[in-house]
Amino acid sequence: MRKHAMALGGAGLMLGVSLMAVQAQDLTGELPDPPAFAAQSEPVFVSISDILEYKALPEYHEPAWVTSKYVDAGTLPPVAERLPKEPMVYKTANMPDGTGVYGDTMRHVIGGRPEGWNYIGGQSQGWGGIDIGMSECLTRTGPLFEVKADELSPLPNLAKSWEWSEDGHELTMHLIEGAKWSDGEPFTSDDVMFYWNDNVLDSNVSPLNGATPETFGPGTTLEAVDDYTIKWTFQESRPEQYLYAMAYGTFCPGPAHILRPEHPNYSDNTYEQYKNAFPPEYMNIPVMGAWVPVEYRPDDIVVMRRNPYYWKVDEAGNQLPYLNEMHYRLSTWADRDVQAVAGSGDFSNLEQAESFVEALKRSAEDTAPARLQFGARTIGYTLEMNLSANGWGEPDDRAQSVRELNRNLDFRKAISIAVDRQRLGDSLVRGPFTAIYPGGLYAGTAYYDKASTTYYPYNLEAAGELLDGLGLTDTDGNGIRNFPEGGDDVEITLLANTDYGTDTSLAEGVIAMMEPLGLRVIANFQQGTARDDMQESGQFDWHVRRQGSELVSVVQGTAALAPTGPRTSYFHRAGTDGSVDLLPFEAELVDTVNAFINTSDAAERAELMKTYQKLYTENVYTVGLTQYPGALIINKRFANIPAGAPIFMFNWAEDNIIRERVYVPEDKQGDHELHPETLPGAPGSDGAM
């Protein structure tokens, strides 16, 4: 007999007096406003046309050593021949410190580890900006933090322009013409089609950042018109929203000429072999990004050198990037903060609240090597409950019973009000940083509406009564509630990412707070990649997770706001029969998100997000935990860091600051390059050809 047997229908019939009392009781309360905390610098708002254009320039330049060592030696074509017909040109007026000079390195420190280089095949490069620097996407959104609100639309990138058909169902995009991969092979619509047909549409492949066909709308098709033209056909009319999905990380094609021969459709490989065909030791994987991996030492470092075929220039015709090298020290995320503050690293997104006080103290000193600037409260954590009851992740009996609890509103409410959010936030850091987060859209962001936010404050007693009402009582007297009718102890596993102290601290906090409620929550703490795999495959009951950009910007990652497709949600995906067993309020969430995607009317969109927020928070779609600001820490020697660059908004700061335009003035350049005067794949680099 299933000892977890859990018939909530039955429990409903046995409703005790206490539950009636709780239901009559209003569990909602006044949501305190977040403590005042001003962002420390504001962007200068501009139009996209102020930032960049595409055009041919009369002459082009490159670092002198590239000309003398490679071009003059005949191993590399002249720069003008390496650039596309009309390169992307960054405008000087939008560069905070103007035209840059070549040289130096940005020394990143990261907590992740590269699984390999097959990004579109689903391999992680270790995060922290490695993949952002290697991959270029059809459009770009990171820099949108400084674009005027009424002109908000993704920046062109690999797609340099586009137009809609009259009925709005077709979108024709023009790709940059004559651009090349870092090995000199042409970039064409063939790369785009390989990504789409053999990676997105092929359900055996899961591109790293979760692109699925539904990310671009149900029934959407894509075709190549010619080498530099692609055509999208949408069921909806003018769904401009999908332009955001064509940015990082859901539409960044890989090098088809290298990847295709390994793909099962064109080889004898299995999908697993395809995914793993480019291990971290494989050097010089062709990229469209500004830097190429040329050295890898396990648990030590990834070194990247400038891409000699990079297709972006400044107005003087200097080929970008200005920085010759990028380092990624393979350490921990906490060490990234420490090193950036101390000056042995150059960059950090200060995002683990536990490090705030120390980092602030050190950075305030005049001699501090790095500047630290706080932005808005765009880092948030929730407790996500696995809402699939039809087989996603193949739950055993115990897990299935938990899934059924997760799907019960009284249960979710009970968990929510058993969490003391103030205490949880304070346990990370005291002071005006953290704010009570009831879930849903973040306070302080464009679509947030307090009046549409339902808040269930901490109320342990009522939480207990709600669980009693569900028939979850401690029948064997061991302090843990049992499933109804003499069932087993209620045991729930909680997934969290050990790469971040904050994730595990919050998860431990939740576990501790469930104890007085009589629920045994068992830590399932996993290192990043394993955590990702368990999440992707649905093997979790609960998950404490840092939230994505969809809750900050709404327009980026929109499809993830609800289970709009079989694989778009982080905690509710299709079960064994391929369908998502949506709860009624989730179906409403899906309709709301789809309606948002289908309209570009600003007033309508604002109303739809109010509905979304109401449905989300009223139904405790997830249990919001805490929300706080992050700070960008960057060494003072770097120039061209835009004012008000947030660590996280449409994308992470590694994209937002437009690293290919960042430079170090000559008098501040340090001796940081590990492979000076080398190019990827060229003699003298570790990945020598």
Residue among 661, 659, 662, 650 at smallest CA distance from 142: 650
* Per-residue binding letters, 266-305, with ligand GLA (x by CB under 6 A): ----------------------------------------
Radius of gyration of the chain (CA): 26
The CB density around residue 187, as the number of other CB atoms within 10 Å, is: 27
CA pair distance 612, 176, nearest whole angstrom: 38
Token match 């077709």: residue? 170
In terms of CB distance, is 330 or 580 closer to ligand GLA? Answer: 330
In terms of CB distance, is 355 or 599 closer to ligand GLA? Answer: 355
Cis peptide upstream of residue 249 (ω within 30 degrees of 0) = yes
Positive/negative CA dihedral, 640, 645, 651, 654:
positive
In terms of CB distance, is 127 or 310 closer to ligand GLA? Answer: 127
**Smallest distance, ligand GLA to C-beta of residue 187, A:** 23
**Smallest distance, ligand GLA to C-beta of residue 418, A:** 29
In terms of CB distance, is 194 or 291 closer to ligand GLA? Answer: 291
**Smallest distance, ligand GLA to C-beta of residue 360, A:** 18
* Per-residue binding letters, 101-130, with ligand GLA (x by CB under 6 A): --------------------------xxx-
Coil, strand or helix at 623: strand
**Smallest distance, ligand GLA to C-beta of residue 114, A:** 13
CA pair distance 562, 615, nearest whole angstrom: 11
**Smallest distance, ligand GLA to C-beta of residue 128, A:** 4
Give residues 182-241 in contact with ligand GLA (rule: CB under 6 A). none
CA pair distance 683, 688, nearest whole angstrom: 5
Coil, strand or helix at 325: strand
Residue among 326, 385, 294 at smallest CA distance from 620: 385
If binding is defined by CB under 6 A, does position 586 make contact with ligand GLA? no
Total of chain residues touching ligand GLA, rule CB under 6 A? 9
CA pair distance 220, 452, nearest whole angstrom: 33
In terms of CB distance, is 317 or 630 closer to ligand GLA? Answer: 630
- Decide if 476 contacts 519 (C-beta within 8 A): no
Give residues 338-357 in contact with ligand GLA (rule: CB under 6 A). 349, 351
**Smallest distance, ligand GLA to C-beta of residue 549, A:** 11
In terms of CB distance, is 124 or 212 closer to ligand GLA? Answer: 124
**Smallest distance, ligand GLA to C-beta of residue 503, A:** 10
CA pair distance 586, 387, nearest whole angstrom: 10
CA pair distance 613, 618, nearest whole angstrom: 8
CA pair distance 655, 580, nearest whole angstrom: 34
CA pair distance 656, 333, nearest whole angstrom: 19
- One of 333, 411, 437, 455 touching ligand GLA (CB under 6 A): 333
**Smallest distance, ligand GLA to C-beta of residue 649, A:** 12
In terms of CB distance, is 118 or 318 closer to ligand GLA? Answer: 118
Give residues 621-660 in contact with ligand GLA (rule: CB under 6 A). 652, 654
- Decide if 242 contacts 169 (C-beta within 8 A): no
Return residues touching ligand GLA (CB under 6 A): 127-129, 132, 333, 349, 351, 652, 654
